[in-house]
Structure formats: structure tokens, C-alpha cells
Chains A and B, each alone.
Chain A
Amino acid sequence: MQRRFSSAIGLGLLLAFAGHAAMAQAADPTAAADTYVNAPHNWQMWFPVAGSPMQARIDWLMQYVLWIMAGVVGFVGVLMGYALWRFSAKRNPVAGHVTHNTLIEVVWIVVPTLLLFVIIFPSLNLIFYEADDSNPYMTVTVTGHQWYWEYSYNAVPGLDYTSYMVPDNQLKPGQIRRLSVDHPLVLPIGEKIKFNITSGDVLHGFYLPSLGVQRYAIPGTIVTSWTLIPKAGTYYGQCNQICGLNHDAMPIEIKAVPMADYLAWVKVAQADYTQNNVPTTPITAPPANELADAAAH
């Protein structure tokens, strides 16, 4: 009897525990981001898997330009290798005297010039694509500090928090040394996000290799960029402009989650992260499109 009772309690405790864990999981709105992690891996030889359309375009242009340049290097290498073999003193004891050939000199000016045109056109397209930060769904102001990042959600009044690297000795299972942070930047997937990047002290570099975003964080000015993340997941970046003592210890971690999770997170975050002096108005609907918003005013 007593044995049965105690096992019933045990089972009940177990159930309660499991139920609590499940609830805790449901309570973490960024859990969806844990299903896919886009991080560098050892012996990697190419760009990260593209986490944004911008990075996909960068990847494409990189292959395009690099193959052309590999062709140039290969051509020069073969040409020089052949010359060295064919005209070595052994095979060609008497040197010739040709020092001019107008045709070939014109050819090696014209052909590289044409090759540059082949590169320039898709390349300029990419510049204009990368520069087009118009009409974003939302804007995050990113401020670099010695040595942490500060994220401020322009559409959510008062939502402003800091993000520090997890020190080596406090890493939890699943976290990546030198890349994981205490409070990641949380973004909704499938929407255009604009970054207003600035700095509170020295220069920093807001660098997200898997999203193809990089801008200096410069005090006294705002430099903009943007991204759009189609897939829920965790994306990493690092500070890429020397900023003093702990330059290597201020990584960037982004959790991209579905819109519903993002909105759920905003509610939690407003409670946790909102600065004391700013009144909180919990939002229930997605923030209005900023441009439409601006037009209405």
C-alpha cells in the first residue's frame, strides 16, 4: 500500500516536472531558432550557407568573379610556365630580340578591359541591391560599445537591451565559444529588417557573414544596412573593426523566429528589457510598416 502510494507520488512528481519543462519550453518564444544553427565549421573553405537573399547574391557574384579571376590566374600561370619551359637556356640557347608587337600590346589592353565590363555590370547591380534599405518592416538601432552590442527596437517603445558574449567559463551545452551571447538579437523571419548602426564610443564593425551584412559602427553618425532572413534559425556575427582590449569578445547572435513567436517574444522582452523610465505599451499587432507610418504623419 505504502509502496503503491509512494510510486503514485513519484509518478505525479515526474509528470508535474515534465509538464513544467514543456511549459518552460513553450514560454521561450525563441525556441524555434534552435532548430537550425548557421555557424562556421572547422576546415570550412567557402562562405557560410546563405542565410539571406543578400548573402545568396554575394555568394553568386563571388563565384562569378572568382571563376573569372581563377581563369586569369590559370592563363597567366600556364603562359608563364610554357615560356619558362620552352625558352629555358637549355631548350633555347640563343635569345631572340623581339621587344615590340603593337597588335599583342593592344590585345592585352583591350581584353582585360572587356573582362572588367563583364565583372562590373552584375557587380554594380549588387551594390544597388545592397544599398536599397527602403520600405523595411522594422528598424533596429544597433549600437556598438566597448565591448558589447546594444539593440534598440525602434517600433517597440523602450525596448532596448545589451548583448554580451558568454565568457568561456560560463558556457552552457549547445552554446558556441566566442560566438554565443547572453541576450541575442531576436528578429522575425521573412520581413525586411533595417539596421541603423552607430557606436557609443570607438569604431566597431557590425559583421554578419551568413547574412552578408557588414557596416562600421561609427560614433556620431548612423550607417544603415538591412537584411531579410527567410529561415528560422540562429545566425552569428562578430565585431570586425578593432575596438580595443576585448575586440574579439563582442560577438553577435541573431535568433530569427516566425512572426507569432517574435510577437510573443516582444511581450516577454518588454517586461524584461524595457528601460525603467520608458512607459511600456504592450503591442498586440505587428508594428505598422514604417514607411506607411511615416506617410500617415
Chain B
Amino acid sequence: MSFTTHDPHQAAEHDAHAGHDAGHGAHAHPKQTFVRRWLMSTNHKDIGTLYITMSIIGACVGGMLSMIMRQQLMYPHNTIITNGNEWNAIITAHGLIMIFWFVMPALIGGFGNWFVPMMIGAPDMAFPRLNNMSFWFLAMGFIFVMLGLTLGSGAGAGWTLYPPLDNAQYSPGVATDFSLFSLHLAGVSSLLGAINFIATILNMRAPGMGMHKMPLFCWAILVTAFLLLLAIPVLAGAVTMLIMDRNFGTSFFEPAGGGDPVLFQHLFWFFGHPEVYIMILPAFGIISHVVSTFSRKPIFGYLGMAYAMVIIGFVGFVVWAHHMFISGISTDSRVYFEVATLIIAVPTGIKVFSWIATMWGGSIEFKTPMLWAIGFIFLFVIGGATGVVLANAGLDQELHNDYFLIAHFHYVLSMGAAFAIFAGFYYWIGKMSGHPYPEFWGKVHFWSFFIGVNLTFFPQHFLGLAGMPRRYPDYADAFAGWNFVSSVGSLISGASTIVFFYILYRIFTSKEVLADNYWGEGATTLEWAVPSPAPHHTFEDVPVIR
């Protein structure tokens, strides 16, 4: 895992000079118009920036929706939302937006675009125009999902889109069609992105960088890209069948026409479960880099770490029906899917223990990115533990679809994936912008968010055990206490987001300029060999890895 670079420094210096002449690395080349640079971009860094911007917008909209939901649920018999359709449209849009327009663009499109080419010593992605197209498909998809939220009574079948609720009879109007097409757009975007990452990583590594020398973030993105490549077409098929059922009189999922609603669940989760790992594997990659950097130690058990991700990706494809334990699947299926699911705990354990072993014997600095990484590991382990509980088909019969499940997947996503996104953000923002983030406020952001999300989601375990179902705008009075605590927690997370925007403001108004490798000896990957901010073009001369 340790790289010494020879040529990249020359290349980097070359770029740096050009960059300094123009005063800013990104303006090294003849100045492009705004439209040319941002709407027609073929540069992996600019496209990465566009993706990160998209994810910030997605997080704000999705987060705003969750704030509305938590305010409604603060008290029983609350009247912020009085119409069930409105509520269903909000929960549907919250789920879709957080997954496809916050987590994925941040981890894969954003950090993946920015750092995969740099880490492997490539000048850009393999297909720059395809890269541009990926982004704009996603941006158009966002418009569609917002239309799905706002048109008519909204698309309200939940992000899982189970028919028959979203067929033409029970969800008339164009809103549901817009939401379905938004998944097509986001799906095509991910698919093209996946093709691009696979081609880039397999073909454009600098001489000397064998697969087994590649940084773990690149491994994570490579496995993720394969998951996308295999899972997205299945989603596209299922969504197409739904659109056909809605608009062209087919009956793939209509019992009256010989179709089967459970078939959709199989297809959806054949995509949906790998999707879970699509969201968390890049996070694993980021956490490995952050833990290694701030422990000033190379990652422990590099090969085990890389192949644990490969195994998670592989097994992730054969466990989908653990989302369907109560859909009437056979007893033997329940046994198989439970056992297969539990097996994933083993490679996940390898990752967690290897992170701790990386810290072991290190010299740990508690900078903001490291705090997020530590928070990630601990909260992800809690989410993983409740995941093991839910994997038991016998227990899922009680816990399925109640708030215990909500708590579980928010521990791995709202805390897991989101913490990794923030870890990556604070880790790399200096490389991307050239300016440091304010350390004090970074820590304020971490602690306020940590308290907020734990207060929001930990009590939801209790609500689930007591039997509160998900997707309810109003609930029995017995659930009032913990719901109130949970809503207070969401207000704290919301306030914490304001701190994040203040940090963004401080970063972009900062005059301070950072060194190439502002983290010091712990940061060993190639992006630290180029100036900060990384110039518009890096590695125009191919670096050689020794």
C-alpha cells in the first residue's frame, strides 16, 4: 500500500507552474466560459465537482423532507401533514433522493471521479464525454423525481415501489411515471458511470501499479462499479415492466392478468440489496484511507481488505430475498437467505478489525476526518449488529417493516454512508479547493451531527420493538414519548447542517493556501503528490510507480 512516486512529481510540478501563473490551478488552460466549463465538461475533476454539488442539493432536499416528517411525527395526532397521499409522496421522495441524489453522487460520482484517476495516475477517466453524459442524466433524473413529488397527489408507493399500489389503478396520474422514469435516468447514469470506472481502473493504471498495489478506494469503486453493472439492468427491467403495466396494459405484476406482485419484489431486491453495498463499499474505501492517514500507518491486511470487499460484493448478490421473509417465500428459502445473509458478517468483520489493527501501534491524530471515520466504524458496527438481528428470518417476522428496521438502515446509511461522505469531504476538500476547512468548526459539526443522529435513530429501536410500523403519519399515543425524542434529535442534526454550510463558506472565502500533502507522512496515495488544489489536468506525463 505504500507508493513512492517518481515521475508524478515532475508532472505535478509542470502543472503547478502553469497553474500558479493563472493564480489558480483550475484555470491553467485558456479560460473557458461558464457554459463550456460546467455544462459541457469532460474533465473528471469538474464533473466530480458537479456530482458533489448535486449531492449537496440532494441532501438538502432529502433532509428537508425528513425534517418535515420528523416534525409531523413529533406529536401524535399532529396536523402538519393531514393527507396520507402527501405523506406517502414525501417518504417516497425522501428515500429515492437520499439514495440516488445524495449518497451515490457523493461517493461514486463525486469522490470517485475526483480521486480514482488521480490515485491510479491516470490523466482522466477513460471516456470523458460518457462521464459528462452520466452526470446530466442524473441531473435530469432529479428534475423528474421532484416532479414525482410535486405533481398531482405525488408518487406515493414508497421508494421500494411495490405494485399494485403504484399501478395505474391505485396511483393514477403522471407523478408515479415521473418517479419511475427518474429511476431510469439515475440508472442509466450509474450504468454509464460504472462502465467508465471499470474501463478506467482496469486499463489506465500507471505503469507499476498492479491491481494489488491499487489504493483501497479504487478497489471499492471497482467492486461498486461491477455491482452497478450487474444490478442496474435488473432494476431497469423491473421499472420498465411497471411502466408497461401502468401505461400499455401489460400485466407483469397484475394478479388479474396472471402476473405476480411478488415477482417485482424479487426483481427489485435483486437490484436493491447490491444497491446497499453500492452505497457502503465506497464508504469503506474512504474510511480505509482516512484511518491509515491519521494513524500514520499503512492499512493493515491490505489484501484481506480488498478481497473482503470483493466477497461482500459477490455474496451481496445472493441474499436479496431477506427483504421478503414475510412475502410468503418458502421455509427453505427463508433458511437459505438467512444463512447467506449472516455470512456477510464475516468479511465485514475483517474490515472492521483491520481498521482497528491499522490504528493499533499507530500515532493517531484526531483531526475532523478521523473523528468522522471513528464515528463511522462504531455506528456502522451498531447498524451491522442490528443487521445480524434482522437477518434472522424468525425475528424478522416480528421486526420486518417496523421502526427497528428504520433504525437499522439509518445507522448504516444516515450514519454509516453519511459519516463516510463527511470524512471524505474533510479529508479531501483541501485537495479539491486548495483551502483548509476550519478545524474547530469541523469538530463542532461532527459532534453536533453525532449527537443529533443518535438521538434521532437510537430511540427508533425502542419504537420498533414496541411495534410501531413504518410510513405512518399518525400513530397510537403509546408511541409518543420516543417519537418526541427522535424529532428533537432531527432538529439537532438540522442545526448541525447549518454549521456545515458555515464551514463551506469559510472554506471558499479562505485565503490560506495548502501544501501538496497537507496531512503529512500518513497520506501516501498519488493525489497527495500533486498540488492543492489539484490542477485542471494531472498526470499528463505518465507517472511510474516504483
B398 and A58 contact, CB distance less than 8 A: yes
Query: Is A207 interfacial (CB-CB < 8 Å)?
Result: yes
B388 and A177 contact, CB distance less than 8 A: no
Q: Contact check: which of A95, A119, A130, A202 meets B388 at CB < 8 Å? A: A119
Excluding A42-B479, A87-B362, 19 further A-B contacts by CB distance (< 8 Å) are A46-B462, A48-B466, A87-B361, A87-B363, A92-B362, A99-B301, A109-B349, A120-B342, A124-B338, A126-B392, A131-B334, A202-B165, A203-B164, A214-B400, A241-B162, A242-B165, A245-B85, A247-B471, A248-B469
Query: Is A176 interfacial (CB-CB < 8 Å)?
Result: yes
Binds A, one of B233-241, B255-263, B449-457, B533-541: B255-263
B476 and A77 contact, CB distance less than 8 A: no
Q: Contact check: which of B374, B394, B402, B473 meets A123 at CB < 8 Å? A: B394
Chain A residues closer than 8 Å to B478, beta-carbon distance:
39-42, 44, 176
B262 and A109 contact, CB distance less than 8 A: no
Interface residues in B487-546 (C-beta closer than 8 Å to A) = 522
A127 and B334 contact, CB distance less than 8 A: yes
B469 and A205 contact, CB distance less than 8 A: yes
B395 and A70 contact, CB distance less than 8 A: no
Closest B-chain residue to A219, C-beta based? B255
Known: A203-B164, A205-B401. A248 touches B363 (CB 8 A): no
Q: Contact check: which of B85, B298, B465 meets A97 at CB < 8 Å? A: B298
5 residue pairs bridging A and B, Cβ less than 8 Å apart: A46-B462, A80-B359, A126-B395, A216-B328, A218-B327
Chain A residues closer than 8 Å to B260, beta-carbon distance:
220-221
User: How far apart are the CA atoms of A48 and B476 in the complex, in Å?
Assistant: 14
Interface residues in B181-214 (C-beta closer than 8 Å to A) = none
User: How far apart are the CA atoms of A201 and B171 in the complex, in Å?
Assistant: 12
Query: Is A283 interfacial (CB-CB < 8 Å)?
Result: no
Binds A, one of B115-123, B218-226, B275-283, B379-387: B379-387
Query: Is A55 interfacial (CB-CB < 8 Å)?
Result: yes
- Dominant SS at the A interface? mixed
The interface bits of chain A over 215-232 (1 if a CB of B lies within 8 angstroms of the residue's CB, else 0) are: 110111111100000000
Spell out B's residues near A (CB within 8 Å). Answer: 1, 76-77, 83-85, 88, 91, 156-158, 162, 164-165, 170, 255-256, 259-262, 295-302, 304, 326-328, 331, 334-335, 338-339, 342-343, 345-346, 349-350, 352-353, 356-357, 359-366, 374, 377-378, 381-382, 385-386, 388-389, 392-395, 397-398, 400-402, 462, 465-482, 522
Q: Contact check: which of B349, B361, B474 meets A96 at CB < 8 Å? A: B361
Closest B-chain residue to A48, C-beta based? B467
Query: Is A32 interfacial (CB-CB < 8 Å)?
Result: no
The interface bits of chain A over 1-43 (1 if a CB of B lies within 8 angstroms of the residue's CB, else 0) are: 0000000000000000000000000000000000000011111
Q: Which 8 A-B pairs have the closest CB atoms?
A: A220-B255, A209-B467, A126-B394, A96-B361, A223-B328, A69-B385, A44-B466, A40-B478
Chain A residues closer than 8 Å to B476, beta-carbon distance:
39-40, 176-179, 251
Chain B residues closer than 8 Å to A92, beta-carbon distance:
361-364
B335 and A177 contact, CB distance less than 8 A: no
User: How far apart are the CA atoms of A93 and B521 in the complex, in Å?
Assistant: 13
Closest B-chain residue to A176, C-beta based? B476
Closest B-chain residue to A215, C-beta based? B326
Chain A residues closer than 8 Å to B389, beta-carbon distance:
62, 65-66, 69
The interface bits of chain A over 180-205 (1 if a CB of B lies within 8 angstroms of the residue's CB, else 0) are: 00000000000000000000011101
Min CB–CB distance B542 → chain A (angstroms): 28
Query: Is A143 interfacial (CB-CB < 8 Å)?
Result: no
Query: Is A288 interfacial (CB-CB < 8 Å)?
Result: no
The interface bits of chain A over 89-109 (1 if a CB of B lies within 8 angstroms of the residue's CB, else 0) are: 100111111111100110011
Q: Contact check: which of B88, B259, B365 meets A247 at CB < 8 Å? A: B88
A84 and B359 contact, CB distance less than 8 A: yes
B353 and A108 contact, CB distance less than 8 A: yes
Chain B residues closer than 8 Å to A98, beta-carbon distance:
300, 360-361
A207 and B469 contact, CB distance less than 8 A: yes
User: How far apart are the CA atoms of A226 and B394 in the complex, in Å?
Assistant: 13
A221 and B262 contact, CB distance less than 8 A: yes
User: How far apart are the CA atoms of A168 and B77 in the complex, in Å?
Assistant: 9
Known: A42-B478, A178-B476. A87 touches B295 (CB 8 A): yes
Chain B residues closer than 8 Å to A93, beta-carbon distance:
363
Min CB–CB distance A12 → chain B (angstroms): 43
Known: A123-B394, A238-B467. A248 touches B328 (CB 8 A): no
Query: Is A291 interfacial (CB-CB < 8 Å)?
Result: no
Min CB–CB distance A139 → chain B (angstroms): 16
Closest A-chain residue to B334, C-beta based? A127
Known: A83-B360, A87-B360. A61 touches B261 (CB 8 A): no
Query: Is A45 interfacial (CB-CB < 8 Å)?
Result: yes
Query: Is A213 interfacial (CB-CB < 8 Å)?
Result: yes
A128 and B88 contact, CB distance less than 8 A: no
Chain A residues closer than 8 Å to B342, beta-carbon distance:
116, 119-120
Closest A-chain residue to B353, C-beta based? A108
The interface bits of chain A over 120-140 (1 if a CB of B lies within 8 angstroms of the residue's CB, else 0) are: 100110111111000000000
A76 and B350 contact, CB distance less than 8 A: no
Chain B residues closer than 8 Å to A128, beta-carbon distance:
331
User: How far apart are the CA atoms of A88 and B331 in the complex, in Å?
Assistant: 50
Min CB–CB distance B9 → chain A (angstroms): 24
Chain A residues closer than 8 Å to B88, beta-carbon distance:
242, 244-245, 247
B170 and A123 contact, CB distance less than 8 A: no
User: How far apart are the CA atoms of A58 and B392 in the complex, in Å?
Assistant: 10
User: How far apart are the CA atoms of A100 and B466 in the complex, in Å?
Assistant: 45
Min CB–CB distance A212 → chain B (angstroms): 5
Known: A127-B338, A238-B469, A244-B156. A119 touches B261 (CB 8 A): no
A223 and B353 contact, CB distance less than 8 A: no
Closest B-chain residue to A72, C-beta based? B385
User: How far apart are the CA atoms of A129 and B393 in the complex, in Å?
Assistant: 11
A95 and B398 contact, CB distance less than 8 A: no
Interface residues in A105-164 (C-beta closer than 8 Å to B) = 105, 108-109, 112-113, 116, 119-120, 123-124, 126-131, 146
User: How far apart are the CA atoms of A215 and B388 in the complex, in Å?
Assistant: 21
A58 and B401 contact, CB distance less than 8 A: no
Known: A69-B385, A177-B477. A83 touches B334 (CB 8 A): no
Query: Is A268 interfacial (CB-CB < 8 Å)?
Result: no
B467 and A40 contact, CB distance less than 8 A: yes
User: How far apart are the CA atoms of A112 and B339 in the complex, in Å?
Assistant: 14
B298 and A240 contact, CB distance less than 8 A: no
User: How far apart are the CA atoms of A119 and B389 in the complex, in Å?
Assistant: 9
Known: A44-B478, A80-B374, A176-B476. A65 touches B392 (CB 8 A): yes
Q: Contact check: which of A44, A104, A116, A213 meets B465 at CB < 8 Å? A: A44
Interface residues in A43-81 (C-beta closer than 8 Å to B) = 43-48, 55, 57-58, 61-62, 65-66, 69-70, 72-73, 76-77, 79-80
B85 and A244 contact, CB distance less than 8 A: yes
Q: Contact check: which of B156, B398, B472, B522 meets A209 at CB < 8 Å? A: B398
Query: Is A270 interfacial (CB-CB < 8 Å)?
Result: no
Chain A residues closer than 8 Å to B359, beta-carbon distance:
80, 83-84, 87
The interface bits of chain A over 232-252 (1 if a CB of B lies within 8 angstroms of the residue's CB, else 0) are: 000001111111111111010
